[in-house]
Chains A and B, each alone.
Chain A
Amino acid sequence: MNDIYIITTAILVSCSCALLGCFLILRKMAMVGDAISHAVLPGIVIAFLLSGSRDSLTMLIGAGLLGVLTTFFIEFFHKKARLQTDASIGVTFTWLFAVGVILISVFAGKVDLDQDCVLYGEIAYVPLDTIITSSGMVLGPKAIYVSGFILLLIIAFIAFAYKELFLTTFDPAFAGAIGISTTLWHYVLMGAVSVTTVASFESVGAILVVALLIAPAATAFLLTDNFKWMLVLACLTGIIASIAGYYLAVWLDGSIAGAIASITGVIFLIAVFFSPLHGIAFRKVRASAH
């Protein structure tokens, strides 16, 4: 039963990440996603201190706010201080992450978070934290409910705001012309990324969530030219990586999140060479056929 719980959680997390990742890589904001996933750390710690528990809602709100703040900082340094984008991202997220690590060590006694968990999560412990009803019935791990809720939220968000997200991603000028605020949707999307990051934080940690955000989306980007298919394929990649990654980790007796990230990389590499549409191998074949 435990392996099913873990795989389910991994699948739910990777699908949320994959969906948002598609928007990130098309908006050339993959590294902003990376920055957010690191920068939410102080938000999580502060929410932890305020609520005194791993209560998910406070953490989601705290981290969501911090993610938006990160985006704001990056934009501010870039636009107002005219700092080049790469440096503005680098300075912002390292600073916030450092603050987060310091907060963890200052409140080491009060915060039930350790540094390793921050970097690569502890999905293996998912089955331990179950929801039990007052009558004693076991409803399954809490993480499944949280990540399932987030996935539903993300799907609803994309379905509801599909037109706005689509237009601001592909043709910001046109979106602006018909009255859709690019800035607003930029921040909303970043808020969604931060919320997802936090929800995935306990399971896969700050850095591996980046692999789930970028790798499946990048793989799907190589496989199709249709955006809706890209969303579907990204999720599929995430699902395959979750299942394969779990068994790889069991086989090697290592970190599950690390294994999932490794598998996403392998799948991406396969797509780079053998994608029917954009793969290097097929491009060579087509070139020689001409």
Chain B
Amino acid sequence: MNALLEFLSFSDANVRYVALGSVLLTASSALVGSFTFLNKKSLVGDAIAHAVLPGICLGFILAGTKNPLFLLIGAFLTGWLSLVIIDFITHNTRIKEDSAIGLVLSVFFGIGILMLTTIQKSGNAAQSGLDHFLFGKAASLVGNDLLSFSIVAVVLVITVVILFKEFSLLAFDKDFAIALGLPVRTIQIVLTSLIVLAVVIGIQAVGVVLMAAILITPAAAARFWTDKIICMFILASLFGALSGLSGAFISYTAPSMPTGPWIVVVISFIAFFSFFFAPKRGVVSRLYRQYAIKKTINNENVLKILYQLGEANSNFTLYRNLPEIIRWRYYDEPKLIRILKRLTSQGYTERVGNTWCLTEAGKNRAQRVVKIHRLWELYLTTYMHIAPDHVHDDAETIEHLLTPELEERLEQQLGFPKLDPHQSEIPYNN
């Protein structure tokens, strides 16, 4: 606890640099990365991250020192070049995009490693530290780095805010953007340049391999919590910032720990938590919804059987036993008993011994299901001109799902018909 307070007080200048640098970096990368996520081009960020390595070496060879401007320009050039080549391969050969990405990233990285090792053996003393680009050095950020991080972060955030509408339009409906007369090509180039910029700065902190995570994992996590694009972007940068801060904190308490990988582990856990427990889109809530729907369908189907048995001899008050029900529609016996017990406890059926009968509420609900089923069959044959023997399966699904509003419109559109296509009576409630 003390360590946490000490960390959060930012009294140590070193802590300040590392924490602020990591937060700026992760938050702004998450912002830009969200667009690559929405464009379904997550792995392109990975390709750029690997492809900047030869550029950095090239910048070093040309400058002879670790002049940041040369390194940046070199990185920018090869980062861009890799994207152009991926595009070229995908459009001009029969190689698919994923192979093209994998090929370009590994070959560029190979060239980068070849150059890097050659430089290292050339005896130029200024080269030491070039290999920081491989694994990052978030834990040893100094004042100068913070300055360049902040400048880039500000540039990224401002550009994203200004061009937000254009970027999102491009991600969701490129054809519409073209039709509107937007300079699509230019916007794409700006967006790609932003990504390359984020990568070039980012790999100094987390390294080549993990850069992709900083770009897309926050976006992937945020996507699970909201359907609103603005909320998603805010959440993504918050998640990013949180992971940056935690990463810095962990390497503050345990100095031997590498910051970059911890940032990635934290953001990944946020993402996994989101995948499983986010309301609506999460795995758990989806499974629960599926379970609930399955239960409703089973309930309604058993009610329907009892109703149809009643229809068969115009007596809804008779108690039916299990064989009778199973003969009408097959159910596994233990499962059927489970459903019937549930229905009884919900007040839809009554049990006497091993026989069941519909209550008034049960009869009403079953009647509605049967009515919708038959109305839908009639609708399909009248309006969609589907043969009467082809409509049952569809109706079997819709009977559980139709809302009362649609039910009413269906009745009115068809004019409260008496019979369905199979000459069964359509029951109304009055």
B98 CB within 8 Å of chain A: yes
Q: How far is the CA of A80 from the CA of B109 in the complex (A)?
A: 33
Q: Is the CB of A90 within 8 A of B212?
A: yes
A253 and B89 CA atoms in complex are apart in Å by 31
How far is A102 from B268 in the complex, measured between Cα atoms in Å? Answer: 14
CA A81 – CA B105 in complex, angstroms? Answer: 28
Contact indicator per residue, chain B 140-179, by CB within 8 Å of chain A (1) or not (0): 0000000000000000000000000000000000000000
User: A97 to B37, Cβ gap below 8 A?
Assistant: no
Q: Which residues 90-112 in B have Cβ within 8 Å of A in the complex?
A: 92-96, 98-103, 105-112
Q: Is the CB of B134 within 8 A of A115?
A: yes
How many whole Å from B274's CB to the nearest CB in chain A?
A: 9
B96–A25 touching, CB < 8 Å: yes
> At the interface, yes or no: A116 with Cβ under 8 Å from chain B?
yes
Tell me whether A258 and B114 are in contact (CB under 8 A): yes
CB-CB contacts below 8 Å: A263-290 with B:
264-265, 268, 272, 278, 280
Q: Is there contact, CB below 8 Å, between A102 and B265?
A: yes
Given contacts A90-B46, A95-B268, A262-B111, contact A218 B103 (CB under 8 A): yes
A48 in contact (CB, < 8 A): no
Q: Which of the segments A149-157, A176-184, A209-217 contacts the partner chain?
A: A209-217
A89 within 8 A of B: yes
How long is the Cα–Cα vector from A245 to B111 in the complex, in angstroms?
A: 11
B270 to chain A, nearest CB (A): 11
Contacts of A261 in B (CB 8 A): 106-107, 109-111, 113-114
Q: Which residues on B sit within 8 Å (CB–CB) of A278?
A: 93-94
Q: Within 8 Å of chain A (Cβ to Cβ): is B261?
A: yes
Q: Are the CB atoms of B110 and A31 closer together than 8 Å?
A: no
A262 CA to B117 CA, complexed, in Å: 13
Determine the chain A residues whose CB is within 8 A of the CB of B261 once the complex forms: 97-99, 101-102, 105
- Residues facing A in B248-265 (CB within 8 A) are 256-258, 260-262, 264-265
Task: Identify the interface centre among A87, A257, A260, A264: most chain B CB within 10 Å of its CB.
Answer: A87
Q: From the candidates B108, B113, B260, B262, name the one contacting A119 in the complex (CB within 8 A).
A: B113
Q: Any chain A CB within 8 A of the CB of B66? A: no
B217 at the interface (CB under 8 A from A): yes
B41, B262, B264, B282 — most chain A CB neighbours (10 Å): B264
Q: Which residues of B contact A102 (CB under 8 A)?
A: 257-258, 261-262, 265
Chain B residues with CB below 8 A from A89, complex form: 42-43
A259 at the interface (CB under 8 A from B): yes
Prevailing SS type, chain A contact patch: helix
Contact A249 B114 (CB under 8 A): yes
B107 and A265 form a contact (CB under 8 A): yes
Residues of B within 8 Å of A253, CB to CB, are: 117-118, 121
Q: A28-B98, A30-B98 are in contact. Are A119 and B134 (CB under 8 A)?
A: yes
CB distance from A190 to the nearest CB of B (A): 15
Quick check: A265 and B131 within 8 Å, CB to CB? no
- The contact of B106 among A34, A252, A280, by CB within 8 Å, is A34
Name A100's closest neighbour in chain B (CB-CB).
Answer: B261
Using Cβ atoms and an 8 Å threshold, which residues of chain A touch B95? 25, 218, 221-222
Most B CB atoms within 10 A — which of A84, A222, A249? A84
Q: In the complex the two chains form, is B220's CB within 8 Å of A98's CB?
A: no
B213 interface contact, C-beta 8 A: yes
**CB nearest neighbor in B for A265:** B107
The CA of A252 and the CA of B115, in the complex, are separated in Å by 9
Determine if A215 and B107 form an interchain contact, defined as CB atoms under 8 angstroms apart. Answer: yes
The count of chain A contact residues (Cβ–Cβ below 8 Å) is 64
Structural contact, A211 and B103, CB atoms closer than 8 A: yes
| Given A81-B282, A257-B110; A31-B102 close (CB under 8 Å) | yes
- Is B378 interfacial (CB 8 A cutoff)? no
For the residues of B in contact with A, the DSSP-based class is helix
Which one of B45, B102, B281 has the greatest number of beta carbons of chain A within 10 Å?
B102
Does B210 belong to the interface (CB within 8 Å)?
Answer: yes
Residues of chain A within 8 A (CB-CB) of B94 are: 221-222, 278
A116: contacting residue among B121, B131, B282, CB under 8 A: B131
**CB-based nearest A residue for B275:** A81
Within 8 A of A (CB), among B345-365: none
Select from chain B the residue with minimum beta-carbon distance to A77: B275
A29 at the interface (CB under 8 A from B): yes
The answer to the question of B40 belonging to the interface, with a C-beta cut-off of 8 Å to chain A, is: yes
A81 B283 Cβ-Cβ under 8 A: yes
Q: Are B106 and A210 in contact (CB under 8 A)?
A: yes
Contact of A210 among B92, B105, B258 (CB under 8 A): B105
Nearest residue in B to A99 (C-beta to C-beta)? Answer: B265
- Which residues in A have their C-beta under 8 angstroms from that of B275? 77, 81, 83
User: In the complex, how many angstroms separate the beta carbon of A275 from the nearest chain B beta carbon?
Assistant: 9
Q: How far is the CB of A55 from chain B (nearest CB, A)?
A: 26
Q: Are A265 and B103 in contact (CB under 8 A)?
A: yes
Interchain CA distance A255-B116 in the complex, whole Å: 8
Is B371 in the interface zone, CB < 8 Å from A?
A: no
- A34 and chain B: residue at smallest CB distance: B102
Check: B271 CB closer than 8 A to any chain A CB: yes
Interfacial residues of chain B within 304-320, with CB under 8 A of chain A in the complex: none
Say yes or no: A90 contacts B113, CB within 8 Å. Answer: no
Asked if B99 contacts A30 (CB within 8 A), the reply is: yes
Is A51 close to B, CB under 8 A?
no
Point out the residues of chain B lying under 8 angstroms from A24, CB to CB. Answer: 99
Q: How far is the CA of A198 from the CA of B109 in the complex (A)?
A: 19
Is the Cβ of A115 less than 8 Å from the Cβ of B103? no
B residues apposed to A, CB below 8 Å:
37, 40-43, 45-46, 50, 89, 92-96, 98-103, 105-118, 121, 131, 134-135, 208-210, 212-213, 216-217, 219-220, 224, 256-258, 260-262, 264-265, 268, 271, 275-276, 281-283
A to B CB contacts below 8 Å, 9 in the list: A30-B98, A31-B101, A86-B41, A90-B213, A94-B213, A95-B265, A211-B107, A215-B106, A268-B107
Binding site for B on A (CB under 8 A): 24-25, 28-31, 33-34, 38, 77, 80-84, 86-87, 89-91, 94-95, 97-99, 101-102, 105-106, 108, 115-116, 119-120, 206-208, 210-211, 213-215, 217-218, 221-222, 248-249, 252-255, 257-262, 264-265, 268, 272, 278, 280
Q: A28-B99, A91-B217, A211-B110 are in contact. List 6 more A-B contacts (CB 8 A).
A: A25-B96, A89-B42, A102-B258, A255-B116, A261-B106, A265-B111
